Structure 1
Amino acid sequence: MGETTKRPQAGKLYVVGTPIGNLGDLTPRAAAAFEAADAICCEDTRVTSKLLAHLGISKPLVRCDENVIAGRAPQLVERMLAGETLAFASDAGMPGVSDPGQVLVDAARAAGVPVEVIPGPTACITALVATGIPCEHFFFEGFLPRKHGERVRRLRRLASIPGALLFYESPHRAEDSLVAIAEVFPEREAALCRELTKLHEEVLRAPASELLELVRERGEMRGEMVLVVAPPSEAELELHEAALAAGAGAGADAGANPDDLLAADIAEALAAGESANAIAKRLSQKYSRKKRDVYNLVLSTQAESD
């Protein structure tokens, strides 16, 4: 009877969460996973080398950043199917959350390779909790588009989400993103979080338009950042629902332009004898606009009717 060739037992993929700043946040399970791995896949070999040196671990490293991971994933899967155990680590935080790790996880699962996730810190959740902004519901967007017009359009599409909005941002683009956030959500509370878990951790929180001015006054700030925008008010959600209803009722020509709705509310309030200051205060909250801008609209509407 001839011999049969047995396929080696499949290895494993460890998906390892790593500290977002403070090395004290590295878990014993994460260290054990690195120790058990035959090789470690990572975004930046220099960053992961420092982490392993801190642990006293030496392992072969495979660069798997967003530019190369799709091409390398098939080969890495074959290595695991042949019996090797690999670990994947982002530069910081949980792999797969706004980084290339998900590509390897997907390929491994599709091939039947066991995947074990080692939980670790996540910058977006750490920031959300640190701000004190209501977090019963939240939406993680990741990075906003680079161009201002595209950023604004994307934010407007997120406006009706009934929860906090979370964004990652780099130091040199944070102000640009806040310009768009302040344009779309001027009255909503917002926060900029940087250097999370590190010595100089900082959380700046204010209405979006005020936060923008504060950041401009501060000038250049270092460290990767998380921007958090508070959930919409009930009035904002009602406005959005009214706009949808108006659009559905009037067909393609309805438009449901918030500026038109605001103008109609101003005219109605003036006809009812409400003061300009009271109108501005009430409608700025309802439409998430700057009070002074609404006040100026009230005055111009008054002038036109005189």
Structure 2
Amino acid sequence: MAKLYIVGTPIGNMGDLTRRAEETLRAADVIACEDTRHSRPLLAHIGAKGQLVSYHKFNEAECALKLAEFVENGKNVALITDAGMPSVSDPGAEVVALCRKRGVSVESVPGPSAATTAVALVGLKSSGFVFLGFLPEKASARRLAVERAARAGLPLVIYAAPHDVKKTAAELGGILGDRKVYAVREMTKLHECVTESTLLSFECEERGEIVLVVEAGEEENPMLALSPEEHLAAYLDGGMDKKEAVKRVAAERGVPKNEIYRLTL
């Protein structure tokens, strides 16, 4: 039975292409590429000769249907991006969702990830991290995304283009305060580099796509994201005594107890 294969490709070092990825690409009838010009050298290197289809963020919806139909008609389709895993801050999610909706089989062929590689390189001691990828274009949406992510109390992993990286660091500093940040670039290549600085005193050579790993701040109380009424209701609904709930909400929000008590009247 034909399948859609989600294939991870190297993020810089050709030697990181797995044997399974090579075999999958060589066997594919159709190879959907984010940029066919970028992918041709890799595909030629391994002898993959499937039909190339351009699949990028500007034609995702239209091309997703075409790729799903290829699989339904018995053709194995491999989906790749310029580097890393499709659907992770790269095109791919539309066709995967459509194929699953239509009952088309989807299989992953994992490969390198810039996010996990960067986190491993900086050596943070953390139980996890929040991956934001490329931040939204609108300033208001960027702020909202960062503020929401920061509430987890975990390091943030953000992708940045070289011409935007200093502006991005300064903007993050304005939202999060002056946290330590690691700028990771040229991963898996000869000049792989990690630069440690802070968001408001940022240092990094502006070359190649860059991964920013921002250290976590103090853990935030998720209740503070609620209104005072919702905060109080959450404790009362959980069975807490009214007097204790008022006292706790007032302490957590740094306001007088009588201000919270009035919400119960």
Q: Tell me whether the two structures share a fold, i.e. TM-score over 0.5.
A: yes
* Letter in structure 2 aligned against 1:226: V
TM-score by length of 2: 0.81
For 2:9, the equivalent position in structure 1 comes to 18
Cα 1:146–1:52, aligned 2, differ >3 Å: closer, same or farther?
Answer: same
Question: Which residue of the other structure, out of 28, 48, 51, is the alignment partner of 2:19?
Answer: 28
Matches within 5 A, 1:119-268: 119-210=110-201, 212=202, 214-215=203-204, 221-234=206-219, 237=220, 240=221, 243-244=224-225, 247-248=228-229
The offset of 1:134, in angstroms, is 2.8
Contact map agreement 2:60 2:91 (CA 8 A) in 1: yes
Q: What SS class does the counterpart of residue 25 from structure 2 fall into?
A: helix
Equivalent residues, number = 236
Matches within 5 A, 1:68-107: 68-107=59-98
* Letter in structure 2 aligned against 1:193: V
Runs of 4+ aligned residues of structure 1 deviating over 6 Å after TM superposition are: none
Contact map agreement 1:128 1:135 (CA 8 A) in 2: no
Measure, in 2, the Cα distance between the counterparts of 1:146 and 1:94: 22
Q: What SS class does the counterpart of residue 227 from structure 1 fall into?
A: strand
The offset of 1:207, in angstroms, is 2.9
Q: RMSD value over aligned CA atoms?
A: 2.5
Cα 1:82–1:179, aligned 2, differ >3 Å: closer, same or farther?
Answer: same
Q: Say which is worse superposed, 145-154 or 51-60, in terms of deviation.
A: 145-154
Contact map agreement 1:186 1:207 (CA 8 A) in 2: no
Give the number of the structure whose residues are more often helix, by fraction. 1
* Letter in structure 2 aligned against 1:47: H
For 2:237, the equivalent position in structure 1 comes to none
Contact map agreement 1:141 1:166 (CA 8 A) in 2: yes
Identical-residue share of aligned pairs (%): 39
Contact map agreement 1:14 1:118 (CA 8 A) in 2: yes
Cα 1:31–1:245, aligned 2, differ >3 Å: closer, same or farther?
Answer: closer
Query: Does residue 39 of structure 2 align to residue 43 of structure 1?
Result: no
Cα 1:15–1:242, aligned 2, differ >3 Å: closer, same or farther?
Answer: closer
The offset of 1:193, in angstroms, is 0.9
Measure, in 1, the Cα distance between the counterparts of 2:142 and 2:95: 29
For 2:103, the equivalent position in structure 1 comes to 112
Measure, in 2, the Cα distance between the counterparts of 1:103 and 1:82: 19
Measure, in 2, the Cα distance between the counterparts of 1:243 and 1:78: 48
* Letter in structure 1 aligned against 2:228: G
Specify every segment of 5 or more residues in structure 2 that has no aligned partner in the other structure, as ranges.
234-252, 255-265
Deviations 1:169-201 (A, max 9, x none): 111111111011111223322111111111111
Contact map agreement 1:38 1:84 (CA 8 A) in 2: yes
Measure, in 1, the Cα distance between the counterparts of 2:56 and 2:156: 26
TM-score by length of 1: 0.71
Measure, in 1, the Cα distance between the counterparts of 2:171 and 2:111: 31
The offset of 1:250, in angstroms, is 8.9
Contact map agreement 2:26 2:47 (CA 8 A) in 1: no
